[in-house]
Chains A and B, each alone.
Chain A
Amino acid sequence: MSLHRITDIDELHRHLHAALQLEHATIPPYLTALYSIRPGTNTEAYHIIRAVVVEEMLHLTLAANILNAVGGNPDLTYRGFVPEYPAFLPDGETDFQVGLQRFSRDAIETFLRIERPAEAAGEGVRTVRRAKSAGALRAARVHDDSEEHFYSIGEFYQAIEQALVGFHKKQGAALFSGDPARQVTPAYYYSGGGEIIAVTDLGSAKAAIRLISEQGEGLGGGIFDYEDEISHYYRFEQLVLGRYYQEGDEAGKPSGLPVDVEWDAVFPIKPDARLADYPEGSELHAGAVAFNRYYAEFLSLLTRAFQGEPGLLIEAVGGMFRIKEMSYQLMRQPIDGTGGLHAAPTFEIPAPKER
């Protein structure tokens, strides 16, 4: 069984489940950096990271729409859906791990690697191999001693699109057998960056894939995409370069207003904090456990929303406020005996069931 050659509908479902996992995997690192910014400071940085998080959630929702459209059943609650951080993401060019760290130059460098525009890909879908890791995502084809990854996220989605086109040729409209009532529509989801697309046929499926794969990395290295949206890579780069991009700019040479960053105005949180870092019975431990439990509930709420109750997404927005508040509660507190490091959510999500 190969993840990158999709030969039947089960394989397609598996890939789309991997897409859900992949789209979600960047959210905890981005949220950690976002909420480590001291409230009231770093306005531009806060909004830049926030916008990317919102778009990652849009991508997650689009992936769920595609999976639902082809008769799958999105599930964000199984064990391992949230990787153990630091984790590898499937990016073939350079192996690097993504951790939970405070807003810093380092964190932004990592985010830039995540969102780096792919080199123009050839016709075929390429993969690379690397050593197995515990934190790895299911978007990898697992061998005995190594894992096979798509060369880029773009190529991962390209494989999915090729499968959709191929199956559609054989099956026609029957491929899109999912209940349209399970689709998340603009009534239930909003974000400044791109609009949610209800997937009901090949055209809308391709549009959804295009939005996901181009919004992150940009189209062939372009700063602004086909919807005049700035891609994630260039959004983050503005923080390093200290200036906003505007239409007509060349890569690396933004010409908009300055982006002022106060790198010190952050909570000095412990990188990749684990529950074990907080003494049993302490308030920090209880707070981190409560966070993880709440995050698990949040993922089950999203799962129910994706499994036929899209109206619950409105409730989930309220959940994001709670996640923010709970993050701040942890991040404001120093951990005893660490020389001043502060606590942070650990994203060790209790999930009883296997997929």
Chain B
Amino acid sequence: MSDASRATSQISPEAASAAEYDVVIVGSGVAGSILAKELSQSGFRVLVMEAGSGRDITVRDYEKNLERFYSEVSKDNNAPYPKSRNAPMPRSYETQKLRPGAPETSGYFVQNGPWEIDSTYTRVLGGTTRHWEGKALRMLPDDFSLRTRFGHGLDWPLAYEDLNPYYRKAELELGVSGDVEDQMYGGLDFGPGYVYPMHRMPPSYLDQMIAKDLDGTEATLDDETFTLRVRSTPQARNGIPNPAYDDGKGHRPTGAVSIHQAEMGERCQGNTNCVPICPVQAKYDARRTLFRALETGRVDLLPQAVASKVHVDAGSGRVTAIEYKSYRDADSPEHTTGRVRGKVFVLAANAVENARLMLASSLHGSSGLMGRNLMDHAYLLTWALMPEVAGSFRGPLCTSGIEDLRTGAFRRRQAAFRVGIHNDGWGWATASPYTDLDTIIDRQNKFGAELRRELVSRLSRQVLIDYMVEMLPDESNRVTVDPQYVDQLGNPRPVISFGIRDYTLEGIAFGRRLSRRIYQRLGAEDYTSYDPAAVGYMSYQGEAYVIRGGNHWAGTHLMGTSAKNSVVDSRQRSWDHENLYLAGAGSMPSIGTANTTLTLSALCFQTAEQIATDLRAASAPIKVRKSGSAA
């Protein structure tokens, strides 16, 4: 056993297969790590399986990823991480324009369309939190009862109030910086006296410029008038601790992750590199939580083990084992197969991979809903040049947004959305600043002092405003598997069918109209243009858009009130397999206009309590009668 494996409780496949765990968790991302931490701290023995490598346990490992990102030509959101052909990841650049009638199969995903989605996820230790931005907004109370309030979508079997205490746990675990005063909209209620662990990220100069011209602007939707205001965005990034947190006990930020001393990461330094990788580890990633779990000494980590089949007892429906393929070399298809056993099993491999694994195991669910109702957010990007220098390319990617249109009676007809203001210029839309440099040198023939002047003038005035638009659950949007599409290990690849309904397109169209008004008010020059050759290009009612994915995969095993209308119950327990939990955003019947990580984290804290209750009940002493027979 190497030093590194000893230090991180890594276990060999043979040893894992020989053991009997209380809980077997598939996936070391935020869902799996929270469950591992909560359950191991409650005294249970846990195995965490990770399809990717178990590296990234020291600052040096982390910085190798950083260097890889710096040197990669494509700065996509998985660029920092080594490619593995045995645990392949979707890459945004793999997304191709679809031609009618034929699926696109060149990347990891097989895409049927009609919308070719460029969303991704990350299969490494810590999961997709290794590339997430860190926005940590709560969902609104309305989002939990869409059908009741607006006549479509689905209701949750939970209300906002039920989740409130778990939202608090999640905000502590992820280390959220934010000001509750800025979150007073759309019916959000944090409870009396609540403050976030840390103060809000300071609004950027750009935010302040925009707020000056925009605050108080009115927007009317279906006879309802909304007054817009620029508000700070809560995010899982270390800021100044709030001394009032936890009844005045304050908060101590958790910094960089390493098995050895690593004193860094306790404050954001404004590197504008949050996606995919914070150079100083001020952004939360799930390794922080996983390391707390490993510290208990009750968690084994089995890396490079791709779960390939869920085995079920035909009589009871209980899961008996999870089969995996274990590899040594990320490039070589050589592998061994094994099974791990536990009392309770949790799939925490994200919405797409959870469904993929269940379907690969021929477990479609008694509702037939496994893999259906795939959701994400639809993003519309708009970009412009501010009339004066706005200090772009400084600070975290986004420090403020507009939240006032996240709910309203208009949701009977049109999708809600939130607006994000970007401090990183046009990067997301145009790959700025690299493309600007090319343009100025190659097309404008500028060099020397003139080149510098032109760069400053062009880059520091850039503003990008995104519209993150709600999508409703739709059974025809789904993940399936098809034996003809497999990866190197023979595991089926996800087959994605995804379309965007008019409800969402109405929201997109409204967002574009609003963006024109906003740029007009700011005196900014609108440079937005949508290339017909671009992935995600579509037209709606005579206007063209490019619609991009938000990497917020959700909804493939959604929760409900019965085995007929859902895959899991309100505690993420499978209706069909009583010792199986499917954890993560896949359980969410709607995702409203909040990035999914905070809410799925809250759900996992609740699920951890349920699993602990199950395990305690199962191991409660059996009363023995005098006759000797068990009661």
Q: Which residues of A contact B (CB under 8 A)?
A: 40, 43-44, 47-48, 50-51, 54-55, 185-188, 190-193, 195, 229-230, 235, 244, 246, 256-258, 317, 321
- B58: which A residues are within 8 A, CB to CB? 257
Instruction: Assess whether B267 is interfacial by the CB under 8 Å rule.
Output: yes
Instruction: Choose the segment among B115-123, B249-257, B307-315, B475-483 that binds chain A (4+ C-beta atoms closer than 8 Å).
Output: B249-257
A258 close to B262 (CB less than 8 A): no
Q: Which residues of B contact A (CB under 8 A)?
A: 3-4, 7, 58-60, 63, 67, 240-241, 243, 250, 252-253, 255-256, 259-267, 269
Cα-based distance from A288 to B7 in the complex (angstroms): 45
Max chain B Cβ within 10 angstroms of own Cβ: one of A51, A54, A192, A246:
A192
Q: Which of B63, B243, B261, B265 contacts A187 (CB 8 A)?
A: B243
A135 CB to closest chain B CB (Å) equals: 30
Cα-based distance from A40 to B255 in the complex (angstroms): 21
- B4: which A residues are within 8 A, CB to CB? 257
B63 close to A192 (CB less than 8 A): no
- A50: which B residues are within 8 A, CB to CB? 263-264
Given A44-B60, A192-B255; A244-B67 close (CB under 8 Å):
no
23 CB-based A-B contacts, threshold 8 Å: A40-B67, A43-B63, A44-B59, A47-B262, A47-B264, A50-B264, A51-B262, A186-B241, A186-B250, A187-B241, A188-B240, A191-B263, A191-B266, A192-B265, A244-B260, A246-B259, A246-B260, A256-B3, A257-B3, A257-B4, A317-B267, A317-B269, A321-B269
B259 close to A192 (CB less than 8 A): no
A258 close to B3 (CB less than 8 A): yes
A192 close to B260 (CB less than 8 A): no
B3 close to A47 (CB less than 8 A): no
- A54: which B residues are within 8 A, CB to CB? 263
Cα-based distance from A231 to B265 in the complex (angstroms): 20
Closest chain A residue, CB of each to CB of B2: A257
A167 CB to closest chain B CB (Å) equals: 29
Name the prevailing secondary structure of the B interface residues. loop
Cα-based distance from A55 to B263 in the complex (angstroms): 10
Cα-based distance from A47 to B261 in the complex (angstroms): 9
- Give the 9 A-B residue pairs with the shortest CB-CB distance, closest first: A192-B263, A51-B263, A244-B260, A43-B60, A190-B266, A257-B3, A193-B263, A187-B240, A43-B63
- B261: which A residues are within 8 A, CB to CB? 48, 51, 192, 229-230, 235, 244
Q: Which of A192, A235, A256, A258 contacts B264 (CB 8 A)?
A: A192
- A51: which B residues are within 8 A, CB to CB? 261-264
- A55: which B residues are within 8 A, CB to CB? 263
Cα-based distance from A50 to B262 in the complex (angstroms): 10
- B262: which A residues are within 8 A, CB to CB? 47, 51, 192
- A246: which B residues are within 8 A, CB to CB? 7, 259-260
Closest chain A residue, CB of each to CB of B3: A257
Cα-based distance from A341 to B472 in the complex (angstroms): 66
- B252: which A residues are within 8 A, CB to CB? 186, 195
B243 close to A185 (CB less than 8 A): yes
A43 close to B243 (CB less than 8 A): no
B203 CB to closest chain A CB (Å) equals: 15
B439 CB to closest chain A CB (Å) equals: 28
Closest chain B residue, CB of each to CB of A48: B261
- A235: which B residues are within 8 A, CB to CB? 261
- A186: which B residues are within 8 A, CB to CB? 241, 243, 250, 252
A181 CB to closest chain B CB (Å) equals: 14
Cα-based distance from A258 to B259 in the complex (angstroms): 12
- A321: which B residues are within 8 A, CB to CB? 269
Cα-based distance from A230 to B243 in the complex (angstroms): 27
A186 CB to closest chain B CB (Å) equals: 6
Max chain B Cβ within 10 angstroms of own Cβ: one of A40, A190, A258:
A190
9 additional A-B pairs beyond A44-B59, A186-B250, A246-B7, beta carbons within 8 Å, are A43-B59, A43-B60, A44-B60, A50-B264, A186-B243, A186-B252, A187-B240, A190-B266, A191-B266
